[in-house]
Amino acid sequence: MDDREKFEKKIRSYVDQVCLYEDPKSQESARKTVPVDELQEKAIVSLAKEGKYEPSKQEQDHAFLLQLLFWFKQSFRWVNAPSCEHCGDTSTFQDMGDPLPSELQFGGYRVELYGCNSCQKVTRFPRFNNPVKLTETRRGRCGEWANCFTFYCRVFGYESRLILDLTDHVWTECFSHLLGRFMHLDPCEAVYDQPLLYEKGWNKKLNYVIAISIDGVRDVTKHYTRQWNEVLSRRNIITEEILSNMLAEITRQCRSTFTSQLLSELEDRDEKENQARERNSHSVDDSSVSLPGRQSGDKEWRKSRLEIGSDEEGSLSSSACSVRKCVDEHVTRIYSAFGSILSQLPDEEFSKSATIEVLSFIQGIVTDLKKSAFRTRTALVDSDSDETKAFLHRLFPSLKHFLGALSLDSNLDNDGRVEIWLAKEPVYTSLALPVVLDALEEVIQDINKCDNFGRAFLCLPRLKLNRIHSGSVLASGEELPFGIATSAFDGIRSSKWEEPNGAKGCWIMYKVFDNKMEELVAYELISANDAPERDPMDWIVEGSEDGGNSWHLIDEQTNQIFDNRFQRRSFFVTKTGLLSNTFRFRFLAVRDGESTSRLQIGSIDLYAPSFNSIS
């Protein structure tokens, strides 16, 4: 078999592979393995955080596809060497084995044999090709990952392609009606719409990149390179003419049963796509975007393939951030409404233990609501004791106001039953619930640690009645897509702003909504979820009266240490009377700048001296 025949055989095997994705029963089986409601909720929340409370179907479909990608990254497992199936210890590759009939049934033609490093027994690792089987095993390397993820994309109706890189990688493309084009998605890395990831981030020496789908095969190499002449010099398996004719013939066969109208539409789109690829191959790449080296696979294996890149922490980041709008009015509403409950408790002479009981009761209600189906959230809360019934009647006006801040309505009947239901579109409650759960957990922990609970306890950080909101944010850099600058202002401590090059100095700037002049009397920082060496240690807070043209000093802190993860630190401004429409944090140093290049912050809250009610 000559090179041309080998090349064609390889491509045709992948055409057969993608045809498996179209079986309705297989799709139905695969759909049951995906938490669809959870991903749909995350999709609409991600859009709402961009201010899109009534997104179009195209926006929703695009957002769901991204959530499917992120979920897949978390649910599928990369296998360097399988754990011993007998004792669970590590194993070492020994040899290739003959496939068993049960393995051949699911396309496991290649079987790797691993010897246990402890019990010496052999573990088989069949490289399954059957996509339905992969939804069960949920493990493998890039071939299994891309095969299964592309299948999932077809399950949810996305026009999809399996992308074969002949320098040994596989990924996915899906057509985004929002973008009006096919979009690159790499499930192994959870990276999307970054086609230069391999050439620029992994330092791959590409040659042939072929897109395979049920409507044909295409040479999409030019979409993944800005060094076409170099790539062309490495394309020496077959001639360009033979390649073009081969792909055209396979495509013709794939489309042999298509209607004339569909053929015309596909040919028109193919032509437009070819023109776009030609333009892209001669364009200049965005130098402000830093693409990571490979993250999937054992580190030594990645090094041996020269794919590890220059940034071992491996982040997709940008040093040319766009101005982002903070969609966080709900955070301020929740803090204010929660404050009204806290303020009432000492007035009603609730003891420390009774206060914890009340807040834990509310926490239970909110937790149950969070677990319920997001489109039809309801709750019916029965009072389990006369004491509970009594405090519900006393606190219900404040509780109703608090639930209203979560876009929920409620009713308390004479028997002490509280009925709760959605008052607005589900996305408003979906945005609010994580914020209030964080706030409740934090306050309950604070009260448990408090020796003298009383009205004096009710001050910042417990009461947050004047939080500044709805401004716009710009930063010196950010990690994409989860460490963006607005994550510091979303009221959720598990999210974070991450500046990949911020350890030795960086900044984040907050412009007040509608250029309103505000006096900053206090601010709070929350440490992020991990890596304490990235915590800010020294910083300066500045204000500007003219949108950032000139600055005045508001506060300065040095040698500040966060002892715990998710620790909230409150800082009170001693300089009074300084009005600003823009605030800037200049972070000068992190806790351990020798061990990291990064800075990260879980949350930033800014407070003005007087509470302006939100209608």
Alpha-carbon separation of residue 311 from 196, 217, 321, 367, 446 (angstroms): 16, 34, 19, 39, 39
Of 116, 174, 184, 186, the catalytic one is 186
Look up residue 128 and give its DSSP letter: -
Which residue is listed with tokens 């599928």?
76
Q: Give the separation between CA 50 and CA 467, rounded to whole angstroms.
A: 20
450 belongs to the catalytic site:
no
Q: What are the two backbone dihedrals, phi and then psi, of residue 592, each rounded to the nearest 5 degrees? A: -140, 85
Q: Which of 218, 208, 280 is nearest to 247 (CA)?
A: 218
Integer angstrom CA distances of residue 235 from 229, 232, 238, 239, 306: 10, 5, 7, 8, 20
Q: Is 261 exposed, middle or buried (0-12, 13-18, 19+ CB in 10 A)?
A: exposed
Is 3 a residue of the active site?
no
Longest dimension (CA), the chain: 88
Between CA 336 and CA 36 the distance in angstroms is: 33
Helix (H, G, I), strand (E, B) or coil at 546: coil
* Among the listed residues 396, 370, 392, the one whose alpha carbon sits nearest the alpha carbon of residue 382: 392
Check residue 306 and give left, alpha or beta (phi > 0: left; psi -120 to 50: alpha): left
Residues contacting 454, CB < 8 A, separation 6+: 346
Are 529 and 347 in contact by the 8 Å Cβ rule? The answer is no
E strand or H helix that includes residue 421: strand 418-422
Task: For residue 463, count other CB atoms closer than 10 A to its CB.
Answer: 17
Q: What share of the chain is helix, strand, coil (3-state, %, to 5)?
A: 40, 20, 40
Element (H, E) at 473: strand 472-475
From the list 142, 153, 188, 506, the catalytic residue is 142
Among residues 62, 169, 330, 469, which one is catalytic? Answer: 169
- Residue count of the chain: 615
Distance linking the first and last C-alpha atoms of the chain: 75
Residue 424 CB partners (closer than 8 Å, separation 6+): 407
Long-range Cβ contacts of 94-101 (<8 Å, 24+ apart)? 94/122, 97/124, 99/126, 100/124, 100/126
- SS3 for 203-257 is CCCCCCEEEEECCEEEECHHHHCCCHHHHHHHCCCCCHHHHHHHHHHHHHHHCCC
| Rounded Cα gap, residues 340 and 82, in angstroms | 55
Residue 378, classed as helix, strand or coil, is strand
Q: Is position 270 annotated as part of the catalytic site? A: no
Where do the H-state alpha helices sit in 32-141?
36-48, 57-75, 101-104, 131-137
Contact 285, 200 (CB under 8 A): yes
Catalytic residues: 142, 169, 186
